[in-house]
Amino acid sequence: MQYPEPIARLIDSYAKLPGIGAKTASRLAFYTLGMGEQDVANFAKALTAAKADITVCEICGNITDRDQNPCVICTDPSRDQSTVFVVQNARDVMAMENTHDYHGLYHVLNGVISPSAGTGPEDINLPSLIRRLSTNDQIKEVIVGTNANADGEATAMYISRLLKPAGIKVTRLAHGLSVGSDIDYADQLTLIRAVEGRTEL
Ligand SMILES: [Zn+2]
């Protein structure tokens, strides 16, 4: 027997989320059916608003409110303007901020260079980092915090080769972060140690 069309569509939508298989998708869909009308309306509104009211910061590429661009970090004069932490995604920024141990700026690549996936430097938020550095002589160090896997390393090497001739110090997180680990899953102490023990590329 086939599910009625509206529930089939809801199951399909859930199944598009990462880590959600067909079985979980149908469980979530039926759970949604059982929710109160107001809860469902709030849920739907939260989904639409997240998409409509969030944009990326014109300077660093991190997510920000549409009416707060540049973002709160880029516009905070108390942040150390000489250091830029380059990360793969907005979740990595949150992970670092939660350590309360880093007070510089960020640049969010929204991806990594990945020859196997056909993702080149122009496909991620890298050209804007180059522009940012060429128009801002306050930045003295770039810490590369891409993940400790092949694509993350390739991206770090690429950034290093690109920036070193310009006289910018490029460092890489120490890997107490185990190989293959994502920085947004690392615990706070491991992250703090990784930043403290960073090495020059
Ligand atoms: Zn920003």
Cα(91) to centroid of ligand 1, in Å? 14
Distance CA 135, CA 133 (A): 5
Cα(10) to centroid of ligand 1, in Å? 35
Chain centroid, CA 85 distance in Å: 12
Cα(13) to centroid of ligand 1, in Å? 31
Q: What is the DSSP string of 143-154?
A: EE---SSHHHHH
pTM beyond 0.85: no
pLDDT values of the chain reduced to their tens digit, one per residue, 201 residues: 788 999 999 999 999 999 999 999 999 999 999 999 999 999 999 999 989 999 999 999 999 999 999 999 999 999 999 999 999 999 999 999 999 999 999 999 999 999 888 999 999 999 999 999 989 889 999 999 998 888 998 999 999 999 988 889 999 987 655 555 676 666 777 788 788 778 888
Cα(43) to centroid of ligand 1, in Å? 28
Region at 129 (left for phi over 0; alpha for psi -120 to 50; beta for the rest): alpha
Cα(71) to centroid of ligand 1, in Å? 4
**Is residue 105 within 8 Å of residue 79, measured between CB atoms?**
yes
Closest CA to 73 of 103, 117, 32: 103
Cα(106) to centroid of ligand 1, in Å? 7
Closest CA to 61 of 133, 138, 151, 124: 124
Cα(88) to centroid of ligand 1, in Å? 14
Region at 113 (left for phi over 0; alpha for psi -120 to 50; beta for the rest): beta
Cα(83) to centroid of ligand 1, in Å? 13
